[in-house]
Structure 1
Amino acid sequence: MSDELQNLRNNIDRLDEEILARLAERARSAQRIGVIKQGNLYRPEREAQVLRRLAAANPGPLPDQAVQRIFREIMSACLALEHPTKVAYLGPAGTFSESAARKHFGGAAALMPTAAIDDVFRAVEAGNADYGVVPVENSTEGAVGGALDLLLANPLKICGEVNLRIHQHLLSKAEGIGAAKRLYSHAQSLAQCHEWLNRNLAHLSRVPVASNAEAARMASEDPESCAIAGEAAAELYGLNVLAANIEDDPNNTTRFVVIGDHDAGPSGEDKTSLVCSSLNRPGAMHALLEPLARHGVDMTKLQSRPARGGLWEYVFYVDIDGHREDANVSAALQELNERAAFVKILGSYPVAAI
């Protein structure tokens, strides 16, 4: 072994010890904050500010995303010293919802799988979970209508968001697909892989199931089948990846929101979500949107959903840039309240950090 190589390894060992000492010091400071606050240490706006500051200060060679992932795990471990954050998600284990929850809350969070999106809301509202993670829209297939309806009907607030790149894999216990007779998958994933399936597996019977993780579980017990699911499900159920990244859109991304009994304070780069309905008269929709434009508030999403109250009546889900406490956003929302038949602020929260 050369002297240079040995010196480099010695330097790494010394740096590791320094990092460990600093981590212990950081953890003790986090514990002290917990004693002072006497409550949950998780603050979405604070975490977003920390991750953005570290990315801006990053000297390299590690990419910004790697730095943010490392510090997300550090924050997660420090939070768990006082109170492991309990997070409900659409299960079972191995779903993309679980991956989104781990991405946002880190590996030290206590994740709680549920059978349905409704159960995620119920777990948080009942206090059995601190937060929940639910999908609200996919870049290919559009809005998750059930989740939007629950946000309207439930008192919980959006306090964060997660953007997760979705890579769909063809999985099976078999080494090849020649003997496969059935394909299990969630309906959304079947739609996201529609063209690939038509080109390559048009002969297979497609069986929609409750989740991709459930599809993987079923394929693990059925040697004459395959499933569409993610990498986490493949590892969990011991399945072979017969074809990777079979989604039709290579930029296929699902947006998840974090729900809790509070939203977040201003972080400096925020988003506000709301739902509203217009009065039934000419120009009503223009009247709703005009205050946003006049106060310089950028609308990034407008999604209509049928209202439960009557035939051909709709509510509108709107995302805007900025926090509800920002002066221009506050002024626009006040005018919107005066003009709309109904307005509900779903929450203000930091824009997804990574």
Structure 2
Amino acid sequence: MSDEQTRLGELREEIDSLDQRIMELISARARCAQEVAHVKTDAHPEEDVFFYRPEREAQVLRRIKEVNPGPLPDEEMARLFREIMSACLALEKPMHIAFLGPVGTFTQAAALKHFGHSVVSVPLPAIDAVFREVESGAANYGVVPVENSTEGIINHTLDMFITSPLKICGEVQLRIHHHLLVSPEFQGQEITRIYSHQQSFAQCRQWLDAHHYGVERVTVSSNAEAARRASVEPGTAAVAGDMAAGLYGLDTLAGNIEDWPDNTTRFLIIGREDIPASGQDKTSILVSMKNEPGALYQLLEPFHRQGVDLTRVETRPSPSGTWAYVFYIDFEGHMDDEIAGKVLAEVEHDAVELKRLGSYPIGVL
């Protein structure tokens, strides 16, 4: 044997040994996770125990990124642990996660990024359907889009919080890469129609104008539906992502055609319980103020005075009356923090209504 073959043989034996140790450690971790679940169940036999702890998982993933020795990047190492935790949690009972469908959408990709692939993902046709599924208890959590870095806020999601009892339990940001996809069966044919969701068309407007100006653009309910149509209709293409391309066996005619390379969508995790502090948190509230001069200043001044960082302020029409508005506010910190508590108490004193939507860990992945 050559020196190369000898060395490769030694390295492969070492990899096999390491794989065995990794498998034993993962199994030990899974048994420990099972014991945690048994302790919780025994301590609260009459209650519906939540095994999933968003704040605990955020703390674990942050620590993994902090102590990662390399050479794998921090994000990649955290994703591996995300899947290990997902599989361990599913040993007791896989969680059901509702998302804005159909299968193959970016919302499903966000759900799997946040919860891992060991959950049961449930596609639903509309944002309000996702809320209803979680409210009824048929799903443990839901995932809905709330804003895009290019196109702004998703109004339907914000409006649902006005009447829904659900809490925000987490967030996840997903880099959105759009591709122009065609069926390999129709490869080479002239494209006369392009399907996509209206948001995707908006995010790829400049590229489409430059490369396919004049081609009919047909808006459909989702990128996955666009991919499905392109897979069976000759002379058509779809603007969609990797999941939809893989699901319907499409080829990429042009990749990453979004107009802005940092195109990102933020998704919210909605559930039924309050989330304890994780150490790096964000809080969301809805506030209705009296319709009078200086109302917005009166609302925001306590945040400024206490040094609380506002990350988003949105205005939505109030369902209670014409020309009345509610303010959707995100700020850094947990509502149980002393300073945040002071600010919320002051805001609540001056507001017509203050609704605490939830405090939750800032997205780690």
- The letter of the residue matching 1:320 is F
CA distance in 2, matches of 1:177, 1:268: 54
CA distance in 1, matches of 2:170, 2:207: 33
Alignment partner of 1:104 is 2:107: no
- 2:52 aligns with 42
Equivalent pair of 1:177/1:226 in contact (CA under 8 Å): no
- 2:46 aligns with none
- 1:202 aligns with 213
Equivalent pair of 2:101/2:126 in contact (CA under 8 Å): yes
Equivalent pair of 1:94/1:213 in contact (CA under 8 Å): yes
Give ranges in structure 2 of 5+ residues lacking alignment. 42-48
Aligned-residue offset at 1:217: 0.8
- 1:138 aligns with 148
Larger mean CA deviation between 2-11 and 88-97 belongs to: 2-11
SS of the aligned residue for 1:2 comes to helix
CA distance in 1, matches of 2:295, 2:188: 55
What's the TM-score, normalizing by structure 1?
0.98
Q: How does 1:98-247 map to 2 (within 5 A)?
A: 98-174=108-184, 176=187, 178-247=189-258
- The letter of the residue matching 1:234 is A
CA distance in 2, matches of 1:167, 1:13: 36
SS of the aligned residue for 2:91 comes to helix
CA distance in 1, matches of 2:59, 2:348: 30
- The letter of the residue matching 2:92 is E
Match of 2:274 among 250, 253, 263: 263
SS of the aligned residue for 1:23 comes to helix
Root-mean-square deviation (CA), in Å? 1.1
- The letter of the residue matching 2:15 is I
Equivalent pair of 1:272/1:319 in contact (CA under 8 Å): yes
- 1:9 aligns with 12
Match of 2:349 among 334, 338, 346: 338
SS of the aligned residue for 2:331 comes to strand
CA distance in 2, matches of 1:213, 1:153: 30
- The letter of the residue matching 2:169 is C
CA distance in 1, matches of 2:190, 2:7: 55
Larger mean CA deviation between 137-146 and 174-183 belongs to: 174-183
Percentage of matched positions with identical amino acids? 53
Q: Which runs of 4+ in 1 moved over 3 A?
A: 174-178
CA distance in 2, matches of 1:169, 1:263: 38
- 2:45 aligns with none
- 1:20 aligns with 23
What's the TM-score, normalizing by structure 2?
0.95
Equivalent pair of 1:51/1:71 in contact (CA under 8 Å): yes
Equivalent pair of 2:97/2:142 in contact (CA under 8 Å): yes
Larger mean CA deviation between 32-41 and 136-145 belongs to: 32-41
Aligned-residue offset at 1:31: 0.5
CA distance in 2, matches of 1:302, 1:30: 39
Aligned-residue offset at 1:176: 4.7
Q: How many residues align?
A: 354
- 1:63 aligns with 73
SS of the aligned residue for 1:12 comes to helix
- 1:32 aligns with 35
- The letter of the residue matching 2:125 is A
Q: Deviations over 1:87-138 (max 9, x none)?
A: 0001111000000000000010110001111111111111110000000000
Alignment partner of 1:350 is 2:361: yes
SS of the aligned residue for 1:82 comes to coil
- Label 1:119 to 1:177 Cα distance change in 2 as closer, same or farther (>3 A): farther
- Label 1:177 to 1:342 Cα distance change in 2 as closer, same or farther (>3 A): farther
CA distance in 1, matches of 2:150, 2:107: 17
- The letter of the residue matching 2:146 is V
Equivalent pair of 1:298/1:320 in contact (CA under 8 Å): yes
SS of the aligned residue for 1:227 comes to strand
